[in-house]
Chain A
């Protein structure tokens, strides 16, 4: 017997006798933490979607970070100040190295931000960069196209992570993530798994306990649960709602859940000629649907009934907005005002029954079930509706063609602890993702103004009014604010839920 094998066997034995069964399981995996996911992490495609892999999985760092109370904290930048209306100055962290051994400095920030904004229209819209200037090796100035107060918040978004120079090829194409954070990217096997390795040169205080992390794609909900129960995976992300109470009661397994940034809502097609071009009808639907029932039916209660776009209770957002309420009488009144009558229990106008075309898609947040519950409640209240739920791309296709009345979707609305991102990318009349044909000039003007203002009374006033316009003009029907539910093997310690859905696996120990 080789000496090494003997030693490792001895170590394994010692581990078993010291802590019993759990250690044995982990020892077998060689200190690998296996995480089961419903949808794939795409480490090689920052441009494919708003890939949050880099920060979720702690491969790359952003300049600014958000703590669990959604307060800005130093990341790769240790401090920042607004030196003019358009310019922010960032002081950078010393002694940080990339996974490939190169040093992190002001030039890396300039390179990464320029490359990523050139690569992705989304990043360009997010940051509004005009110029990134290297002042000295540890100071950069970022100038934006227009006054932009929420830049530090935007720089917490996963697409703004600072990739090493070798992450891009000579043509500026993204090759692979080379970050500065706790885990090194090792391999991505399409439709199967993403493998990470601990980075021993990580600058942060929390050093990862495990040697490796594998993110395994298991799209089917029941298969993912069984994988946890049989020990194939250690952590289950997005527990299927129907299994939560059962897993909680299972010995050796634990469930962790908390509210996070995210809202499932139905976007109304406000285009001319569609029934929901009438504001009264949009409001009526908002009063008609009991969100408590939606959350109960679709998510077994593991969601927060949504009566407004941004979830209530965030300290960084003005709270004096009038939420919707369940009020069928008010809804009936609005229907009548809009010229609708109820014949044989069905709402209709001029002898034509109202039929709503609902498009949705399935994801880990139960988006498809939420749409189904909403449609079921419509039917109960006398509104006929058809539902098509496939993929996100499928829904976008219908939405872009305008061939829908309600598109049920999920967005992480509060992700950067700033309202600007989603208001400008989803609701502004010229926004790329505004397929709703909703246009409100006052809203557009306020949103444009809001992003130039520093936080304070004026900022509060602007965003109070903005939120109230969303309530009053009703381009959407908010349905559920997200609750993130994960399960794990009880021997793991240190799992927390971050409102921006960061897994923070570096803090997990066995």
Chain B
């Protein structure tokens, strides 16, 4: 629920209904969590009011869009924000015709002179933000090349993307690049705590931990999960307050509960890694899963697979989680792990090609089982 606010959307919508990712989007560049290096460089640019073309890249939810929006807000202030910024979300408006018409006309306009008494630096250029630029076609990117150069006196471009390799080389070389790293767990935690405090909801440390592990470094995802969890706990708590538990978070995130994963692994012949007992205590309600019966062999695996399919868990998600457990497993040999990694890779490809979930899970199960014999 990452409402890309272009300034055109009316801010009058009820804040209660507003997604928290939008509500708690950083308003100034100092507020941006982590990314110290990028922030330091940009602040320098802010004081000198001379900005290069920029290319922000990094995994989702690391604050790329937030940073550029905050920067623009600090440069131009709320009044000029609208006229100086063109934000294009490449997910629906892309293609060469948009570049030729919309971007070119905007880039061509000379910005209006700003009043002297403005509190903001308001430098004499405009910014074009191209969000999700990696989904732009090669042609569209090619059309940008010349526009970027001819109008560089009055227009700066900021490309935001996940994969820098999808940006054509001539564009990338015209920009100064900023890499956004996944957020460390402490940075995520402090942001989440801040939000929980301002929304006055009670979240246990374990729940925070679950939030951080399920979202691995993606702040937007963890905030969305937090909001969903809060929504659920609030709506149930009409009868009595119910704190947010790690199990809630896991259910919302669509991850498979640990007992189920361990049970599947047990059927494959993998002993639960030591130290996972505390994880099993957390979800005490699914007691049916806790005692793994030691049936192995084909039928054992098939039964567990059938059971998992009946419970409706997603194979792709399960494979990710099995992978996490097995790669860090202390007892398995490197050779076994290597073989398993190959199996997972093949299964992931097969699932992406549209393979049947049950067959693929069975396939993974049987092959891992064989590899561990």
Q: A and B bound?
A: no
A interface with B by C-beta (< 8 Å): none
